[in-house]
Amino acid sequence: MASGRMEFHAYSIMQHANFAFVIPNDVEMEEVFDKSHYERERKNLILLHGLTGTDTDWLYGGNAQEMAIQYNINIFMPTTGNSFYLNKGYTGGNWADYIAVEFPEYIHKTFGIEFTRENTLIGGLSMGGFGAIRTALAYPDRFSACIGLSAAIHLQDVAEEIKKKLPGLMPTEMLLGIFGDPDKLLASDKNPAVLYKKLKAEGSEIPKIYFACGTEDSLVTANREFRDFLKKEGADFVYEEGPGAHNWTFWNKYINKGLGCILGKGDTK
């Protein structure tokens, strides 16, 4: 197992960018529950943090090392600030380009690891859950599947908070800086539903979507609405709910379920 933290100068965001990584390159098979994962090519997972998070969240709050071992996946965890993984439209603020393009290209150059659509997944929690779903749909040629946990896809609520200057977790000015004009938000490419419809109309190959939310999570309504949208569109997706709130107890359980859904059983517990 190779693991650690690094930083490099990222052009897309014009700053030194930190990331953590776990590469299961010397795993003892006695540790592995489902050895069939080692009968295929190792896959790559870009794993995103939530609001106020960092690259170490999935190491210390989550179980990234065990996931890497059980599922035979390289896991790369970037720090991205409170960007919601969106492009601002100028060099220095293009967080989506950083995650989907520059970050994996740097890893390839540094580690020699190939990123293809077929071997690359993206996942995340909360803000990172939104980022995983939205990034996969914005760059469908780079990701075959995504996992969104407690995804912050409540864009209707965000638009209302901005317009009415409602008190919330994030200041109105911060939301405005990230999402822009609230009257245009739901029809913009920041909205995963808009991206999905575009790909479907084009006949493009669409990444498989797995997402889950706890029944005691304030984001569950928005996740159910996205579930209903995908069901109406005939999408290839799996949505799950279970008892739980917006916390690591839920995320650690359902990241395993999501990986199991996409890659096979593998059980980390």
- Domain holding 220, by residue range, is 2-263
Count how many domains the chain has: 1
CATH number at residue 11: 3.40.50.1820
Instruction: Tell me the average pLDDT across 167-183.
Output: 91
Q: How many residues in the chain?
A: 269
pLDDT band at 59 (very low <50, low <70, confident <90, very high): very high
Three-class DSSP category at 120: strand
pLDDT band at 11 (very low <50, low <70, confident <90, very high): very high
| Distance (Å) of CA 97 to CA 92, 103, 117, 131 | 10, 8, 16, 12
Q: How far apart are CA 187 and CA 182, in angstroms?
A: 10
Find the Cα–Cα–Cα–Cα dihedral 170, 61, 256, 139, rounded to 10°. Answer: 50
Half-sphere exposure (Cβ direction) of 200: Cα atoms closer than 13 Å: 13
Share of the chain above pLDDT 90, in %: 94
* Confidence at residue 268, expressed as pLDDT on a 0 to 100 scale: 59
* Confidence at residue 267, expressed as pLDDT on a 0 to 100 scale: 67
- Asked if the structure places residue 269 within a domain, the reply is no
pLDDT at residue 266 tops 90: no
pLDDT at residue 265 tops 90: no
Task: Take residue 8 and report the two structure tokens written for it.
Answer: 């490099």
Task: Take residue 161 and report the two structure tokens written for it.
Answer: 């908070």
pLDDT tens, residue by residue, 91-110:
999 999 999 999 999 999 99
Q: How far apart are CA 158 and CA 138, in angstroms?
A: 20
* Confidence at residue 189, expressed as pLDDT on a 0 to 100 scale: 97
- Asked if the structure places residue 8 within a domain, the reply is yes
- Asked if the structure places residue 118 within a domain, the reply is yes
